[in-house]
């Protein structure tokens, strides 16, 4: 996702008494005002953690990161384990749990699935607001006895994905996973709430070819790119093969085989 948000008016607010101090801290960290006239978005702090709310008529509900309940819990318990397409794409197999860098982490959903399966995950989300939601969700999940061991395998990095990959220090990730924002042309009612909320903030990933180039230079074993099923491949080297589902596919760029 684009590092700089589009020209949107965003403020930070406490939803309840007692959260004013935390709201001020987030405002200072993100360089956002606590109050602003005609705000289009509000970063809200309350008992359920940090959430992003679009304002105005017909705005969708708030978006927050929740690894303990809701969709994440259902997929953790009933999602299909290592038989899931994302698991096959990154190379999860008997005795193989690769070290994965998710360089377009978003709300951390795919990273959480892979961490649930036992992969050590590094996560980069370069859009500061979304990164704040992810940081807050990881911190809350670390307080839950069942989920804490999973999120302990998820390590959030801050900064520009391309720059961090180009200047990587230490052992490189075996697999790099990319899910760049793709231009949507569907009617808004058909687009996920998160995408409807984020698109005016972050736009599309016009630097996806540079993301792919940096990932191919860094990953030791393979790069995996998630795309809408009918979307073209990212400009650059072509994948050797892909896995296709009902709505999305995984383009796979192998470098060498993963071994147990």
Residues making up the annotated binding site are 125-126, 179
What 3-state DSSP class applies to 99? coil
In sequence order, the β-bridge partners of residue 244 are: 249
Ramachandran angles phi, psi of 149, nearest 5°: -65, -25
The single residue listed with the structure tokens 């994948």 is 239
User: Among 73, 49, 53, which residue's Cα sits nearest to residue 63?
Assistant: 53
What 3-state DSSP class applies to 155? strand
Distance from CA of residue 222 to its chain's centroid? Answer: 19
Task: List, as residue ranges, the binding site for S-adenosyl-L-methionine.
Answer: 125-126, 179
Distance CA(10)–CA(69), nearest Å, equals 28
Q: Contact, 225 vs 103, CB < 8 A? A: no
């Amino acid at each position: 996702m684009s590092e700089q948000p589009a020209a949107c008016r965003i403020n930070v607010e406490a939803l309840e008494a007692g959260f004013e101090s935390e709201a001020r801290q987030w405002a200072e960290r993100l360089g956002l005002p606590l109050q602003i006239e005609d705000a289009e978005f509000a970063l809200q702090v309350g008992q359920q953690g940090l959430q992003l709310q679009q304002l105005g008529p017909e705005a969708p509900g708030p978006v927050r990161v929740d690894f303990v309940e809701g969709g994440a819990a259902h997929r953790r318990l009933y999602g299909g384990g290592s038989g899931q397409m994302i698991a096959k794409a990154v190379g999860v197999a008997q005795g193989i749990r690769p070290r994965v860098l998710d360089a377009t982490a978003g709300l951390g959903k795919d990273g959480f699935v892979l961490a649930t399966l036992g992969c050590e995950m590094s996560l980069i989300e370069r859009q500061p607001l979304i990164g704040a939601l992810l940081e807050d969700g990881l911190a809350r999940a670390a307080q839950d006895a069942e989920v804490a061991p999973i999120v302990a395998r998820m390590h959030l990095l801050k900064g520009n994905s391309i720059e961090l990959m180009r200047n990587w220090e230490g052992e490189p990730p075996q697999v790099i996973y990319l899910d760049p924002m793709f231009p949507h042309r569907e009617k808004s009612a058909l687009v996920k709430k998160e995408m409807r909320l984020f698109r005016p903030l972050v736009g599309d990933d016009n630097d996806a070819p540079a993301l792919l180039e940096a990932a191919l230079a860094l990953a030791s074993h393979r790069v995996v790119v998630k795309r809408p099923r009918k979307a073209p491949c990212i400009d650059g080297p072509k994948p050797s093969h892909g896995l296709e589902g009902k709505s999305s596919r995984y383009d796979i760029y192998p470098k060498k085989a993963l071994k147990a």
